[in-house]
Amino acid sequence: MVYFVLFHIIGYRKKVVFENLKNSFPNKTDKEIYEIGRKFYAHFCDVFLEALKLLTISPKNIQKRFQIKNIELFNQLYKEQKSIILYSAHFGNWEWMTCFPLHSPYKFISFYQKLSNRYFDQFMLHLRQRFGNTCVESQSGFKELIKNTRNKKLTITYVIGDQSPMSNSAIFWTDFLNQETGFLTGADRMAQKCNQVMIFPFVQKPKRGYYQLEFKIIPMDEVQDPIETYARFLEINIQKQPELWLWSHRRWKRKRELKN
C-alpha cells in the first residue's frame, strides 16, 4: 500500500530516480528501466518498514533474515587482533547492518549525521543501537577511531561511502555506472593510519525480508586505489540487483571542476 502511494500517486523523486537509471544503464530499454524503477520503489518501502521493525524484531529472527555467508573472515581477523572499517553503501538494507553485533564479538560502531529534529534523531538512535551498535557522529568519527586504536579495542567501524561529496571534501574521481563520479576519501586514510582492514559487503536479497551478505577485503596495496576498488565492488553489486540501490539520492549533483 505504501509503495502504491509513493510510486503511483505521490511520485516521490521519480524524475531523479529515472534520470539516474537512464544515465547508469544507457543500453537498457525504457521498459527495462521502468521495471527497475518500479522494483526500486517496492524495495525502498520495504527498507523503511524493516527499519521500523527493528523496534520489536527478536535477535533470533533478525539473524535468520540477515545472514552472513562468510563470518569466518571476521573470526580470523579477530584472532589476528585486527580492527575493521566496514565500507558499505545505501544498498540492500543499510539500517539492518546495525544488527551485526549479534554475529560477532567485535565492538560495532557506526558513523551517522545528527538529524535536526531532536525527537526523530533520538528515535533513530534507539533503532540503530538496539542490538549493541554504538552511533558516533561523523564529525567525531576519526577521533573515536584513534581513541579505540590507542586503547587496543577491537572494533568494526561502519561507514557508508556512496554519498555525494560536499564541495569542501577531498574527492576521488572515477568512472562509475557510465558516469564520471566523485567519491569521498577518508575511510582509506583512516584504515591506513590505524592499521585496520577495509571490507566491502556484497549484498543479495533472495526474497522479500531476507538478505545475504558476503564480505570481501579491499586491498590497501599500491596496485589500485582502495576507493577505486570500492567503486568497482559496488558497481558489480548494483549490476546484479540494481533495484537494491538508493536511486532517489542525487548522487551525481556534483561535477568535476575543469582546470585551465
pLDDT tens column, 90-140 = 999 999 999 999 999 999 999 988 888 999 999 999 999 999 999 999 888
pLDDT at residue 1, as a whole number: 85
Residue 223: pLDDT band with limits 50, 70, 90: confident
pLDDT at residue 213, as a whole number: 98
CA-nearest of 32, 156, 153 to 97 is: 156
pLDDT at residue 168, as a whole number: 66
Average pLDDT over residues 25-46: 96
pLDDT at residue 260, as a whole number: 47
The more confidently predicted of residues 8 and 232 is: 232
Share of the chain above pLDDT 90, in %: 79
CA-nearest of 110, 106, 96, 94 to 66 is: 96
Mean pLDDT across the chain:
93
pLDDT in tens, 160-207: 999 888 766 788 999 999 999 999 888 898 999 999 999 999 999 999
CA-nearest of 230, 107, 223 to 163 is: 230
Sign for the CA dihedral angle at 212, 144, 123, 160 comes to negative
Residue 233: strand, helix, or coil: helix
pLDDT in tens, 140-149: 888 999 999 9
Question: What are the residue boundaries of the structural domains of the chain, listed by start?
Answer: 59-241
Q: Model-level pTM?
A: 0.93
